[in-house]
Structure 1
Amino acid sequence: MADVQPFRGLRYSKSLVKDLSKVICPPYDIISPAFHEELHKRSEYNFIRLEDAKTFPQDTPTDNKYTRAAETLQKWLTDHVLIPERKPAIYIHDHYFQHQEKGQRRRGILARVRLEEWEKGIIRPHEGILGPARDDRLSLLWALQVNTSPVLAMYQDRRNQLAAVLDSQDKLKPVIDTLLPEGDRHVLRATTDNDMVEKISKHFDELPLYIADGHHRYTSALTYRREQAAMNPSFSLEAAANFVLMSLVSFTDPGLVILAPHRLIRGIERSVIETLETRLDEFFEITRLSIGTKDFWQKIDRLMKQPGSIRFASLITNTDHVSVLTLKEHSIDGQTMPLFHSELYRKLDVSIIDHIILEKILGLGIGGSDETKISYSYDREDALSRVLKGEYQVAFFLKPVKPELIKAVADANDKMPRKSTYFYPKAPAGLVINKLTD
């Protein structure tokens, strides 16, 4: 099924860029304005200049973030700041990070993967996308003709057979081993041995891939490929634009961490907020826990993890308790949940919140202008604090989604609501670039 191939990646020259910790950056979609500025100051070669160049009020169609990124890329190639790998390689990327005060390692395979249209079911999404982010990445593809950051995708590794193959490559000397100022460490090994590359690629011959993070990047790459093919009569199946850079991670990798995007709501009429608990009682059994109770979060976790029912928690402004909400059996029907979705979708915590609470009770339009009233936090203490401070009116606390549930939704040819998952940490930009020109 999935066609996973080696490629001649572009990487920073170690002779010109001696400290890679100053040039690696996160992907474009999680960089705050302040951190954006800091990355520019770290190094004249920081990858942010390609991944998400600065914008200015005076930008024009011929002088903008995309044209400036293209000029930067061309200069770095001319000056040999970026140099190609001598031989095609599949890269093994070990990302070391801290989560819940414990050291973790997520192992990914960086390779180029053949683009497949969604309907083939070879590459499977689990979330929908928004137009602006897709258009931004498409504009960058046309300007640079490279993949700057990878799409994160998951794969099955029954009996950890591929894991054993990857472990055998630990003996290779890393081509990158750098510790970032934020504390994450990145170790990259380039596997160029033909037999080993074939073993890795062959593992995916009968397997689909499941996009974890990077739906916009993948969709943009599909559009770019279509547009290139339409413009070029000699466009071949092996043209570089037929492929996209991916980081492939096993479903069972111990470092595959998924955080819950807790919902934060504001801009709701006071009368609606004042009657919210009464309305919630129509659909949910409510268990209240006073804020500040001993072992507060542990008690909430125990309640939310009880099997057999859909449970999540909420905090409403000007109250002194968090409510654990357990869905009543009669609550899911054609009036509350969309029938065109799978049964699995209709029983997701996040689907219940989006359709029953946000849409039906609070009257918010999901995906439209009301999106400005919804924010997300991946730290429940932070979400709690924002409501207590009065920044938001309501918080909804979710459980993290398990990888096997993501797979099941995708296998059902369905998609979860937007912002259902947050894969932590994000795969970085700047370790290796995939060229889209031959």
Structure 2
Amino acid sequence: MAEIQPLRGWRYNPVLSQHIDEYVSPLFDVVSQKQREALYRNPLNSIHLSVPRGDDPAGEALRRLQEWQETGILRQDELPGIYVYYQYFRLPGSSREFCRKGFMCHIRAYAWTDNVVLRHENTLPSSVNDRAELLARTEFQSSATHGLYRDDAFELERWMDEAMLDPLYETAEDYQGARDVLAVIQDSRIIEQFQAALAQRQVILADGHHRYEGSLAYRQAQLAANPNSTGQEGWNYHLMYLTNSAADDLRILPTHRLLLELPGDLTDAELLARLEAYFLILPKEDAYDLPELIAGKQWAFGLYLRSGQAYKIRLRPEVHTQLSWDTTTEVKALDLTVLHFFVLEKVLGIVGPDAQRQWPGVAYVRSFSECLKRVDDGEARAALITNEVTMDEVERVCHSGAVMPPKSTFFYPKTIGGFLFSSIRAEETAHPFLAGAGK
């Protein structure tokens, strides 16, 4: 199954690491424009490597990377290791502090057809190309993708807990309110335990599909250019943060759908009339009750209209058999598949997953209150409030070989960029552990 390798991580030098909060950044696909501008003002922030700007962004990232390495802003660890990464966080409205435990390492960049790393969503070619070009120019990875393995015995956690007794550094609080802590394991015997554990398992890609596919594209290009390669070159590997899906510290938050427009300029009354063919519709007094009213109920959604009227809508069970998309039973059972098929396709006429991905009339918003506000402010015609996807649903869909509707999952908290950097250059990835690759 999954082959993993330790790496000689690049990190901010010890002086800068004392203020690591100033140099980390959100992932390129979740950072807002306002956050970006604030981060760009710091000339040493990692965003300059992960989301470079300029007429030649990848070239600018390479220039800055070389400068940071030559001047000692970034330094490479002498020994290869597995980097333990814990994230402490709270959820809104709860006083409980969770700790998501995981580790960063290199994983072989498996093609989807290898059935070792499994995906649950499709990607946009333009975003993959951007990531592949950046990797090709710099041979450097500034943020780990997030992968999930299942280990009900929790055999690796004791080694991770032990490493955390002597952390390298930690943030006070990152952009999402989490506290991030990094430690390293460089004992070869323990690293082999991690390798053996993952060699028995598949990995589900939770976050970072575009970055992972960028690594796949770069690897394919290198394989074509180097027909006599050994399979152990650095470009065969990808930086990944691995966490145990059996733990209770994995949170998937809902992503709601905001209808920015209604095709044909439907009125609210016309929209409700069309919905009634498929859904039971119940008016509700207070829109802020919608998340609680739909919680745990299959195929149930909240609907909020510009008139200020709120509704609970729930699919009529007998119409589910009309869901005709060519996908697996596991995908058809999802709330979001029901929403996309019966609301976007049948009611609004946006036919098929491809058309829906391209349709500019829908926005994906994580904040419930933001959804209501944008409808009230006239920015959108309606908000569709959803339940979160469960980890069990993610696993069942991945193992069925299918993918979910777009923006189905929002794993929380996100990893951060700049906490650990990884090089895939040949001279920096040849180390003794590669001799045991594929055990």
The TM-score normalised by the length of structure 1 is 0.91
Q: Kindly provide the amino acid, as one letter, of the partner of residue 312 in structure 1.
A: F
Q: What CA deviation, in whole Å up to 9, does each residue of 1:192-218 have, x standing for no partner? A: 011111112211111100000011111
8 Å CA contact 1:272, 1:362 repeated in 2: no
CA distance in 2, matches of 1:181, 1:420: 24
Q: What CA deviation, in whole Å up to 9, does each residue of 1:138-188 have, x standing for no partner? A: 1111111112211101110113222233223333x1112222464432210
CA distance in 1, matches of 2:100, 2:230: 35
Match of 1:276 among 256, 271, 278: 271
Cα RMSD between the aligned structures? 1.8
Aligned to 1:201: 195
Q: Aligned pair 1:39/2:39, yes or no? A: yes
Compared CA separation, residues 300 and 49, structure 1 to 2 (3 A): closer
Aligned to 1:318: 307
Aligned-partner SS, 2:304: strand
Q: How many residues align?
A: 420
Gaps of 5+ in 1: none
Aligned to 2:51: 52
Compared CA separation, residues 50 and 303, structure 1 to 2 (3 A): closer
CA distance in 2, matches of 1:300, 1:53: 38
Aligned-partner SS, 1:350: helix
Please give the residue correspondences for 1:224-373 in structure 2 after superposition, counting only pairs within 5 Å: 224-268=218-262, 269-271=264-266, 273-291=268-286, 296-297=288-289, 300-306=291-297, 309-321=298-310, 323-334=311-322, 336-338=323-325, 340-365=326-351, 366-368=353-355, 370-373=358-361
Tell me by how many angstroms 1:414 deviates.
0.7
Greater mean alpha carbon deviation, residues 405-414 or residues 98-107? 98-107
Compared CA separation, residues 196 and 354, structure 1 to 2 (3 A): same
Aligned to 2:81: 89
Tell me by how many angstroms 1:281 deviates.
1.1
8 Å CA contact 1:98, 1:104 repeated in 2: yes
Please give the residue correspondences for 1:160-199 in structure 2 after superposition, counting only pairs within 5 Å: 160-171=154-165, 173-180=166-173, 182=175, 183-199=177-193
Gaps of 5+ in 2: 427-439
Aligned-partner SS, 1:276: helix
Q: Kindly provide the amino acid, as one letter, of the partner of residue 156 in structure 1.
A: R
CA distance in 2, matches of 1:246, 1:391: 38
Q: What CA deviation, in whole Å up to 9, does each residue of 1:216-235 have, x standing for no partner? A: 11111011001011112332
Q: What CA deviation, in whole Å up to 9, does each residue of 1:81-105 have, x standing for no partner? A: 1111111100110112332143332
8 Å CA contact 1:337, 1:356 repeated in 2: no
The TM-score normalised by the length of structure 2 is 0.91
8 Å CA contact 1:157, 1:163 repeated in 2: no
CA distance in 1, matches of 2:209, 2:230: 25
8 Å CA contact 1:12, 1:81 repeated in 2: yes
User: Among the aligned pairs, what percent are the same residue?
Assistant: 26
8 Å CA contact 1:105, 1:254 repeated in 2: no
Q: What CA deviation, in whole Å up to 9, does each residue of 1:293-332 have, x standing for no partner? A: xxx52x75244424xx4222212221422x2222112322
Q: Aligned pair 1:404/2:392, yes or no? A: yes
CA distance in 2, matches of 1:69, 1:370: 30
Aligned to 1:433: 421
CA distance in 1, matches of 2:291, 2:256: 14
Aligned-partner SS, 1:39: helix
